Structure 1
């Protein structure tokens, strides 16, 4: 496979014209490709700073076979690749002088690319400790019994409350991000729709978000309950509510990521009807240390 079989573009509309049908054919495995293409398409041109996101399509006989995106300042995301495809992409990006800080994909794809990138550039890959599993919803099975209270979809009038909860979530997962009225629109949290679980007296106890409908699919993205309120059924209730909202919004597929280090959440999602789709991995790259002679 030749490295120049990869078509690179900074035009996201061109990328989607070439690869859209391919991505939508397996939306679960392509969730990050679809999500970031949509974010780049709908955000302002300066949302990513001075550098422009790059997209790529591997084409054979006029058909898309694989894709990637590269976000500033060097985060690479991949659709499933064979080792040969991963090597051809690494060769192409290295020849063009692209620098990479990380690669994320299904575990086997990320590993194949990390090894190829090391061969072509000498960059040393390090597997992140956080291990994720991607789930897809089968038949939604709400928990029984539900905790007392109700689910409520949050609207524009709830923005202050949404920002507070997203800030709490970001701190809990170690994400360094400013979330306030001035920065909100530029964060990854701004394009989501949120569902809150609140107790009968109106006290909010758990929140879940979902991304927009893209390619017939919705990703549930953030589920958060404060530590002192966990174990009371609130996370299961709010996840069931946001999953129901996703289906009501027209999603044929509903997916979410879970941290494999948290067996409680993984067991919860499976009780709700989510089934494993693939394990996910992220490698960070650093330059090789020159040998001292």
Structure 2
């Protein structure tokens, strides 16, 4: 077994596009991350792109889009030691790894670093969408909502993923809108009360997230309503696999998603290195 570090996204795509697209559910994070790189202006933070080969055949991959952790969903377990050693040499600034638990934990262990489990999630896929009956109505966000979306994104990350890199939130939201992602807002009595994002479909797959309701508007069903609205937007865009991740330490969100039609698939875990 050997590994190839790709200097360009074009080279990596040539080796992995068909492979990743053949399993868009498992490779959801990689597909959306790579699409964002392709269609966004170039930055100084170049991605780390590695493929693993056995007898000339591509058997897996490992990617990182700075400043975020490695994505191990396509990492073959037999390549974990090779991947950890190579990653340490070519990308020493990586903060951690995320992916299905068996792969991300194996990679984290193989690095020999001290790490903490920062996030445990369950991946869900939409079956039959069940629209909840909730006061208010949904609408899609526009450029005029960018400042609010930036504020809500910062609040969401501070609450749900405190280890997340510090990025300019408003610019991230503006870029997401320009990429064509669906930013759904729920409006009750003229007040914006909840937000959910659905990515533009890739290989038939859309992923929801973030989903956020400010604390003062919780326990009214707005999170379920805006999630269903965003899910319907994704279906209208032609998505065949509508996915999301729910924090396993939050039983409320897990039950809400199941009530509107989402079915559990797999457990993922995110590990960050201790410094």
Q: TM-score range by the shorter chain?
A: 0.7 to 0.9
The answer (yes or no) to whether the contact 2:224–2:260 under 8 Å persists in 1 is: yes
The answer (yes or no) to whether the contact 1:75–1:103 under 8 Å persists in 2 is: yes
Alpha-carbon offset, residue 33 of structure 1: 1.1
Alpha-carbon offset, residue 107 of structure 1: 0.6
The answer (yes or no) to whether the contact 1:80–1:106 under 8 Å persists in 2 is: no
Give the equivalent residue in structure 1 for 2:116: 126
Runs of 5+ unmatched residues, structure 2: none
Give the equivalent residue in structure 1 for 2:218: 230
Q: Which of 124, 131, 136 is matched with 1:142 structurally?
A: 131
Which is further off, 63-72 or 160-169? 160-169
Listed as ranges, the matches of 1:39-50 within 5 Å are 39-46=36-43, 49=44
Runs of 5+ unmatched residues, structure 1: 288-293
Task: Please state whether the residue corresponding to 1:131 is helix, strand or coil.
Answer: strand
Moved over 6 A (4+): 185-190
Give the equivalent residue in structure 1 for 2:91: 98
Which is further off, 161-170 or 105-114? 161-170
CA RMSD of aligned residues (A): 2.4
Q: Within the alignment, does 1:274 sit opposite 2:262 as a pair?
A: yes
Q: Within the alignment, does 1:10 sit opposite 2:4 as a pair?
A: no
Q: Which of 161, 169, 178 is matched with 2:168 structurally?
A: 178
Distance 2:127 2:80 in 1: 31
Listed as ranges, the matches of 1:71-86 within 5 Å are 71-72=65-66, 75-86=69-80
The answer (yes or no) to whether the contact 1:208–1:221 under 8 Å persists in 2 is: yes
Alpha-carbon offset, residue 198 of structure 1: 1.0
Structure with higher Rg: it is 1
TM-score (norm 1): 0.83
Number of positions where the alignment pairs a residue of Structure 1 with one of Structure 2: 270
Distance 1:11 1:248 in 2: 33
Distance 1:93 1:260 in 2: 29
The answer (yes or no) to whether the contact 2:20–2:27 under 8 Å persists in 1 is: yes
Give the equivalent residue in structure 2 for 1:242: 230
The answer (yes or no) to whether the contact 1:68–1:77 under 8 Å persists in 2 is: yes
Task: Please state whether the residue corresponding to 2:115 is helix, strand or coil.
Answer: strand
TM-score (norm 2): 0.88
Task: Please state whether the residue corresponding to 2:238 is helix, strand or coil.
Answer: coil
Change over 3 Å in CA distance of 1:241–1:185 after alignment to 2? closer
Change over 3 Å in CA distance of 1:73–1:233 after alignment to 2? closer
Alpha-carbon offset, residue 157 of structure 1: 4.0
Task: Please state whether the residue corresponding to 2:233 is helix, strand or coil.
Answer: helix
